């Protein structure tokens, strides 16, 4: 009794194995790329860049808003709406 040496599917076993290995290598490359990108961004695995430190010489958005209101460039309603959108000073 002779056994079929080529494997399954009439000799296509090597092709299926090769495709599996190529897929595995691609998944590993993708994973390493994503982990490396997260570390470069400083997000611990996320792709969010860290916030830049605030320059103390530049006024905050709320300071600019108060100044525009004081100069009369915007109305009290505009000032209140903008203040609600901006939130507290940081």
Residue 7: half-sphere exposure toward Cβ, Cα within 13 Å: 7
* Region for residue 6 given its phi and psi (left: phi exceeds 0; alpha: psi -120 to 50; beta: otherwise): alpha
| Residue 25, pLDDT score | 94
pLDDT of residue 56: 82
State percent of the chain over pLDDT 70.
Answer: 70
Share of the chain above pLDDT 90, in %: 38
Residue 38 or residue 23, greater confidence: 23
Query: Is this model's pTM higher than 0.85 or not?
Result: no
Over range 38-51, report the average pLDDT. Answer: 59
Per-domain boundaries in the chain: 1-50, 53-90
Average pLDDT over residues 27-55: 72
**In the structure encoding, which two tokens stand for residue 53, read together?**
């430190």
């Amino acid at each position: 009794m002779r056994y079929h040496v080529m494997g399954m599917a009439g000799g296509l076993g090597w092709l299926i194995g090769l495709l599996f290995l190529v897929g595995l290598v691609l998944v590993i490359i993708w994973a390493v790329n994503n982990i490396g990108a997260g570390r470069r961004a400083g997000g611990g695995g996320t792709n969010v860049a860290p916030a830049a430190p605030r320059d103390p010489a530049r006024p905050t958005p709320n300071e600019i808003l108060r100044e525009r209101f004081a100069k009369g460039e915007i109305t009290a309603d505009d000032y209140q709406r903008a203040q609600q959108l901006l939130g507290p000073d940081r």
